[in-house]
Amino acid sequence: MRVTVKICGLTNLADACAAVAAGADFVGFLFDPGSRRFVGPSPAWIRGVEGASKVGVFRNQDVATVARAREAAALDIVQLHGDEPPEACAALGGPARVIKAVSVSGVVDWAVVARYARVARILFDTASAAGGGTGRTFDWDALAGAPAGLEFWLAGGLDPENVAAAVARVRPAGVDVASGVEAAVGRKDAARMRAFVAAARGAGRGPAAGRPAGGGGTVRRAGHGGDDETGT
Among all residues, which ones are annotated catalytic? 8, 125
The secondary structure element, H or E, covering residue 197 is helix 190-203
Nearest to residue 97, comparing CAs of 136, 131, 54, 61? 54
* Rounded Cα–Cα distance for residues 161 and 219 (Å): 15
Contact 167, 175 (CB under 8 A): yes
3-state helix, strand, coil in the chain (%, to 5): 30, 20, 50
Contact 13, 40 (CB under 8 A): no
Strands in 74-145 per DSSP E:
77-80, 98-104, 121-126
The strand pair at 187-188 and 182-184 is best described as antiparallel
Contact 193, 7 (CB under 8 A): yes
Q: Greatest CA separation found in the chain?
A: 44
